[in-house]
Amino acid sequence: MSTALDAQCARTRSVRTRRIWCRGRRSSGTVHPVESPGQLLAARLAAGDDRALAEVIDELGPAVYAAAVHVLGQAAAVQDVVQEVFVDLWRQPQRYNPTLGSLRTYLTLSARHRAYDLLRSELRRVGREERHHRLVPPQRQSTPGEDVVDALTASAVRDAIHALPAEQRKWWRWRTSAG
Protein backbone atom coordinates (compact mmCIF):
# COMPACT_ATOMS: atom_id res chain seq x y z
CA MET A 1 0.00 0.00 0.00
CA SER A 2 2.79 2.40 0.82
CA THR A 3 4.34 1.92 -2.62
CA ALA A 4 1.13 3.07 -4.30
CA LEU A 5 1.16 6.22 -2.14
CA ASP A 6 4.86 6.73 -2.88
CA ALA A 7 4.15 6.42 -6.60
CA GLN A 8 1.26 8.89 -6.36
CA CYS A 9 3.48 11.24 -4.34
CA ALA A 10 6.22 11.11 -6.99
CA ARG A 11 3.73 11.78 -9.84
CA THR A 12 2.12 14.89 -8.41
CA ARG A 13 3.31 18.12 -9.95
CA SER A 14 1.48 20.67 -7.87
CA VAL A 15 3.29 21.64 -4.69
CA ARG A 16 0.02 21.91 -2.79
CA THR A 17 -1.14 18.48 -3.92
CA ARG A 18 2.29 17.00 -3.18
CA ARG A 19 2.08 18.29 0.40
CA ILE A 20 -1.30 16.61 0.89
CA TRP A 21 -0.37 13.28 -0.72
CA CYS A 22 3.17 13.10 0.61
CA ARG A 23 2.55 14.14 4.19
CA GLY A 24 4.67 12.03 6.47
CA ARG A 25 6.61 10.43 3.60
CA ARG A 26 10.35 10.20 3.94
CA SER A 27 12.45 11.79 1.26
CA SER A 28 15.42 9.97 -0.16
CA GLY A 29 18.41 11.73 -1.66
CA THR A 30 20.08 14.99 -0.77
CA VAL A 31 17.05 17.26 -0.88
CA HIS A 32 15.49 17.77 2.53
CA PRO A 33 11.70 17.74 2.85
CA VAL A 34 10.14 21.20 2.75
CA GLU A 35 6.83 22.41 4.05
CA SER A 36 5.95 25.42 1.91
CA PRO A 37 6.21 26.34 -1.76
CA GLY A 38 8.56 29.15 -0.78
CA GLN A 39 10.87 26.72 0.96
CA LEU A 40 10.82 24.46 -2.09
CA LEU A 41 11.65 27.36 -4.39
CA ALA A 42 14.41 28.52 -2.04
CA ALA A 43 15.85 25.00 -1.94
CA ARG A 44 15.78 24.83 -5.74
CA LEU A 45 17.49 28.24 -5.94
CA ALA A 46 20.18 27.10 -3.53
CA ALA A 47 20.71 24.07 -5.77
CA GLY A 48 21.22 26.40 -8.75
CA ASP A 49 17.93 25.81 -10.58
CA ASP A 50 17.41 28.65 -13.10
CA ARG A 51 13.73 27.88 -13.55
CA ALA A 52 13.16 28.36 -9.83
CA LEU A 53 14.14 32.02 -10.11
CA ALA A 54 11.69 32.48 -12.99
CA GLU A 55 8.96 30.88 -10.90
CA VAL A 56 9.77 33.07 -7.90
CA ILE A 57 9.64 36.18 -10.09
CA ASP A 58 6.36 35.11 -11.68
CA GLU A 59 4.78 34.23 -8.36
CA LEU A 60 6.13 36.92 -6.06
CA GLY A 61 7.22 39.70 -8.44
CA PRO A 62 3.95 41.65 -8.20
CA ALA A 63 4.05 41.59 -4.39
CA VAL A 64 7.69 42.75 -4.32
CA TYR A 65 6.89 45.48 -6.85
CA ALA A 66 3.87 46.63 -4.79
CA ALA A 67 5.99 46.82 -1.62
CA ALA A 68 8.54 49.04 -3.37
CA VAL A 69 5.87 51.23 -5.01
CA HIS A 70 4.28 51.79 -1.62
CA VAL A 71 7.52 53.37 -0.39
CA LEU A 72 8.91 55.07 -3.52
CA GLY A 73 6.09 55.68 -5.96
CA GLN A 74 8.52 56.17 -8.88
CA ALA A 75 8.47 53.48 -11.54
CA ALA A 76 12.17 53.66 -12.48
CA ALA A 77 13.43 53.53 -8.91
CA VAL A 78 10.95 50.75 -8.07
CA GLN A 79 12.19 48.62 -10.96
CA ASP A 80 15.77 49.04 -9.74
CA VAL A 81 14.78 47.94 -6.24
CA VAL A 82 12.87 44.90 -7.51
CA GLN A 83 15.80 43.88 -9.68
CA GLU A 84 18.22 44.22 -6.76
CA VAL A 85 15.99 42.08 -4.55
CA PHE A 86 15.80 39.22 -7.06
CA VAL A 87 19.49 39.42 -7.98
CA ASP A 88 20.34 39.24 -4.29
CA LEU A 89 18.05 36.20 -3.90
CA TRP A 90 19.74 34.54 -6.88
CA ARG A 91 23.24 35.24 -5.61
CA GLN A 92 22.60 34.40 -1.95
CA PRO A 93 19.55 32.17 -1.54
CA GLN A 94 20.89 30.95 1.82
CA ARG A 95 19.97 34.33 3.34
CA TYR A 96 16.34 33.27 3.30
CA ASN A 97 15.51 31.55 6.59
CA PRO A 98 12.17 29.72 6.40
CA THR A 99 11.87 29.60 10.19
CA LEU A 100 11.49 33.39 10.23
CA GLY A 101 8.70 33.62 7.67
CA SER A 102 7.57 32.85 4.16
CA LEU A 103 9.60 33.62 1.04
CA ARG A 104 6.99 36.22 0.12
CA THR A 105 7.50 37.99 3.46
CA TYR A 106 11.28 37.83 3.10
CA LEU A 107 11.23 39.31 -0.41
CA THR A 108 8.67 42.04 0.29
CA LEU A 109 10.54 43.13 3.42
CA SER A 110 13.81 43.13 1.46
CA ALA A 111 12.19 45.32 -1.18
CA ARG A 112 10.78 47.63 1.44
CA HIS A 113 14.11 47.98 3.24
CA ARG A 114 15.96 48.63 -0.04
CA ALA A 115 13.34 51.20 -1.03
CA TYR A 116 13.76 53.02 2.28
CA ASP A 117 17.55 52.88 1.87
CA LEU A 118 17.21 54.40 -1.58
CA LEU A 119 14.84 57.06 -0.27
CA ARG A 120 17.23 57.99 2.56
CA SER A 121 20.13 58.09 0.14
CA GLU A 122 18.21 60.42 -2.17
CA LEU A 123 17.26 62.69 0.73
CA ARG A 124 20.92 62.91 1.79
CA ARG A 125 21.95 63.73 -1.79
CA VAL A 126 19.35 66.49 -2.03
CA GLY A 127 20.48 67.86 1.34
CA ARG A 128 24.11 67.94 0.18
CA GLU A 129 23.13 69.79 -2.99
CA GLU A 130 21.09 72.33 -1.04
CA ARG A 131 24.01 72.94 1.36
CA HIS A 132 26.35 73.34 -1.57
CA HIS A 133 24.10 75.94 -3.19
CA ARG A 134 23.76 77.82 0.09
CA LEU A 135 27.51 77.88 0.75
CA VAL A 136 28.77 78.64 -2.76
CA PRO A 137 27.86 82.16 -3.81
CA PRO A 138 26.04 82.34 -7.12
CA GLN A 139 28.04 83.58 -10.07
CA ARG A 140 26.94 87.02 -11.00
CA GLN A 141 26.21 87.95 -14.58
CA SER A 142 28.72 90.21 -16.21
CA THR A 143 27.52 93.56 -17.49
CA PRO A 144 27.73 94.47 -21.17
CA GLY A 145 30.49 96.95 -20.31
CA GLU A 146 32.55 94.20 -18.65
CA ASP A 147 32.07 91.97 -21.69
CA VAL A 148 33.41 94.74 -23.95
CA VAL A 149 36.44 95.32 -21.69
CA ASP A 150 37.14 91.56 -21.61
CA ALA A 151 36.94 91.33 -25.41
CA LEU A 152 39.25 94.34 -25.85
CA THR A 153 41.77 92.91 -23.37
CA ALA A 154 41.77 89.52 -25.13
CA SER A 155 42.29 91.24 -28.48
CA ALA A 156 45.19 93.31 -27.10
CA VAL A 157 46.87 90.18 -25.67
CA ARG A 158 46.48 88.35 -29.00
CA ASP A 159 48.00 91.31 -30.85
CA ALA A 160 50.90 91.48 -28.36
CA ILE A 161 51.63 87.77 -28.72
CA HIS A 162 51.46 88.08 -32.49
CA ALA A 163 54.01 90.93 -32.32
CA LEU A 164 56.51 88.71 -30.46
CA PRO A 165 59.43 87.16 -32.35
CA ALA A 166 58.75 83.64 -33.69
CA GLU A 167 60.89 81.90 -31.03
CA GLN A 168 59.11 83.68 -28.16
CA ARG A 169 55.68 83.01 -29.74
CA LYS A 170 56.58 79.31 -29.98
CA TRP A 171 57.65 79.31 -26.32
CA TRP A 172 54.46 81.15 -25.33
CA ARG A 173 52.23 78.63 -27.17
CA TRP A 174 54.11 75.74 -25.58
CA ARG A 175 53.79 77.35 -22.13
CA THR A 176 50.03 78.01 -22.44
CA SER A 177 49.27 74.56 -23.89
CA ALA A 178 51.28 72.81 -21.14
CA GLY A 179 49.09 74.40 -18.52
The answer to whether residue 105 scores a pLDDT higher than 90 is yes
- Separation CA 158–CA 28 (nearest Å): 89
**11-30 pLDDT, tens per residue?**
555 555 455 445 544 444 45
**28-45 pLDDT, tens per residue?**
445 555 567 778 888 888
- Under CATH, to which class is 35-135 assigned? mainly alpha
In the chain, domain spans = 1-33, 35-135
pTM score: 0.56
